[in-house]
Amino acid sequence: MDFVAIDFETANRYRNSACAVGVVVGNENGVIDKYYSLINPQSPFEMQNIRVHGITEADIQEAPTFRDIWPTIKSYINNQVVVAHNASFDMSVLRASLDQYRLYYPTLQYLCSVMLSRQVWPNLPNYKLNTLADVHGIILDHHHALADSRAVVDLLVKAMSDTRASDLNQLLQDQSIVYGQVFERNYRTPRRNKKLVQKVTKGSSTK
């Protein structure tokens, strides 16, 4: 099954200041499609953000606004499974950007690759994207939105391979994880399914 990794970079501390987006479509076999754009956030840049991603106000002077590129982003993520590393950040950037321009929300399911990684590979020193990339031999130009999204796809492919899951749905079922969801002016976060966890635990104890 296909899924869509997304990553935003922001110009400042506010979530409605997206200055770059990377979108990568993948499945259990790897990358299918990709999209990247700088974004004019129509708000000032803060030095702490520039130090992270290296994007400056000069870089986005001719860039489109979020409103301009939303039809393209929406074509990738609407009615799809979307994955982000630390998804609470990227989903909040998406919602804040939509709210700023009074755009309709897409309908989508989403997953946090941090949550998933903690389940599949316990006891790592941390679950930052660059740490996971190093552990699994994934090439990463960290904090470039497209590279980060590509790494998330590679990470999920590795997780499916390591757990012998046939696709993303089976991987989540095996790890007792339930998708989050974004819908008009509301959302529900991904979570562990306690009933599935209890069922798996009881089944394991009888073996």
In sequence order, the β-bridge partners of residue 18 are 10
Query: pLDDT (tens digit, 9 = 90+) per residue, 170-190?
Result: 999 999 999 999 988 888 999
Residues 123-135 have a mean pLDDT of 96
Using DSSP, state whether 105 is helix, strand or coil. coil
Q: SS3 letters for 10-62?
A: ECCCCCCCEEEEEEEEEECCEEEEEEEEECCCCCCCCHHHHHHHCCCHHHHCC
The pLDDT assigned to 159 comes to 97
Round to whole Å and give the CA distance between 171 and 79. Answer: 20
- For residues 108 and 81, the answer to whether their CB atoms sit within 8 Å is yes
Specify the pTM: 0.92
Is residue 204 over pLDDT 90?
no
Looking at the chain, how many residues does it have? 207
Closest CA to 138 of 64, 180, 93, 85: 85
Laid out side by side, the sheet with 18-27 consists of 30-38, 18-27, 3-10, 81-84, 108-112, 180-183, 186-188
Is residue 201 over pLDDT 70?
no
Beta strands at 81-84 and 108-112: parallel, antiparallel or unpaired: parallel
Is residue 163 over pLDDT 70?
yes
Q: Which CATH number fits domain 3-205: 3.10.129.10, 1.20.210.10, 3.30.420.10, 3.40.50.1100?
A: 3.30.420.10
Is residue 112 over pLDDT 70?
yes
Tokens of 167: 């696709």
Round to whole Å and give the CA distance between 193 and 207. Answer: 22
- pLDDT confidence band for 104 (50 / 70 / 90): very high
Q: What is the mean pLDDT of the chain?
A: 93
Is residue 195 over pLDDT 70?
no
Beta strands at 180-183 and 177-178: parallel, antiparallel or unpaired: unpaired
- pLDDT confidence band for 73 (50 / 70 / 90): very high
